[in-house]
Amino acid sequence: MEFELNKTQKDIQKAVRDFVKGEFDKDLAIELAKNHEFPKKIWQKAGEIGLIGVHFPEKYMGQGLGSLEDILVIEELCRGDSSIGSAVALSSFASELIVHYGNDEMKEKFIPQVAEGKMLSAGAFTEPDHGSDITSLNTTAIKDGDQWIINGGKTFITNGGLAGFYSVMCQTDPDAKPSYRGISLILVEAEREGLSTMDVGDKMGISTMSTTEVILKDVRVPLANLIGEENKGFYHVLHFFDESRIQVAAQALGIAQGAFDRALDYVK
């Protein structure tokens, strides 16, 4: 088994390191964190040079690479700065759900904008009453003609209030046993009437990233906004979690390496 990075992977690693050196500024990082401000210009530039969604298909403005290349980007971004790096790295959070399970119209409309640093995405999974137990949901979606009507609330949603769209977990079959067999994923555009957000307030870290509650009150979206199969949303999200857990590990590794780098520089 070959453990050495290949030339393409090393080139990606170097490109991100060069980007971080040129764009990440210590004083700017402190200022952004203090003001709880998203690093918009850095994110946009990262999109312009192809550092967002490197694992997205090329037809949707990705690089057509794999998860390893994606985590190399994330690791180097977070090595440069924990807060700015995480904000840029997670700007595409949950877009993989659209890449894997969305219809062609969804992919064509949203994924290129995410990859190019023109739109943030969000996954609306966690609920106030259930925390990380995504098998139990209060958020419901019922059919009304050619539309879904969604009611409920989510909390601790990454990119909430800034995202252009949300991949929302909803209970679509209230009689399903066990309940997770009746969960679906539905795409909700940020501008839909009835969707609102509220910031969760100060956090201990990652302050340049927006984290909010998301309230859905009689939000109507077309039936075509279903992501993947009806009542299979739980399984779709588990697939996404297989990817996102590796991304979170890459964040942690990058932050740890950055802390080590700074400590080593200090003692020298």
pLDDT of 204 higher than 90: no
pLDDT of 157 higher than 90: yes
Question: Hey, is 219 helix, strand or coil?
Answer: strand
- Kindly give, in sequence order, each residue whose CB lies less than 8 Å from that of residue 12, ignoring residues fewer than 6 positions away: 54, 65, 69, 72, 73
Which helix (H) or strand (E) element contains residue 227? strand 226-227
Pair of tokens at residue 187: 């795409």
pLDDT of 137 higher than 90: yes
Could you give the CA distance from residue 179 to residue 233 in angstroms, rounded to a whole number?
Answer: 12
Asked if 55 contacts 67 with a C-beta cutoff of 8 angstroms, the reply is yes
Q: Lowest-confidence range among 53-67, 94-108, 201-215, 218-232?
A: 201-215
> According to the model, what pLDDT value does residue 118 have?
98
> According to the model, what pLDDT value does residue 90 have?
97
Could you give the CA distance from residue 172 to residue 186 in angstroms, rounded to a whole number?
Answer: 10
Asked if 74 contacts 89 with a C-beta cutoff of 8 angstroms, the reply is yes
Pair of tokens at residue 206: 């990652």
> What is the rounded average pLDDT of the residues 79-95?
97
Could you give the CA distance from residue 39 to residue 61 in angstroms, rounded to a whole number?
Answer: 22
Residue with tokens 């203090």: 34
Asked if 51 contacts 45 with a C-beta cutoff of 8 angstroms, the reply is no
Could you give the CA distance from residue 239 to residue 98 in angstroms, rounded to a whole number?
Answer: 12
> According to the model, what pLDDT value does residue 205 have?
82
Instruction: Enumerate domains of the chain plus CATH numbers.
Output: 7-118+237-267 (1.10.540.10), 121-230 (2.40.110.10)
CA 100 to chain centre: 14
Question: Hey, is 127 helix, strand or coil?
Answer: strand
Bridge partner list, 170: 184
pLDDT of 1 higher than 80: no
- Kindly give, in sequence order, each residue whose CB lies less than 8 Å from that of residue 38, ignoring residues fewer than 6 positions away: 32, 87, 162, 208, 209, 210
> What is the rounded average pLDDT of the residues 30-51?
96
pLDDT grade, residue 130 (50/70/90)? confident
Could you give the CA distance from residue 9 to residue 13 in angstroms, rounded to a whole number?
Answer: 6
Amino acid at 210: S
> What is the rounded average pLDDT of the residues 37-44?
97
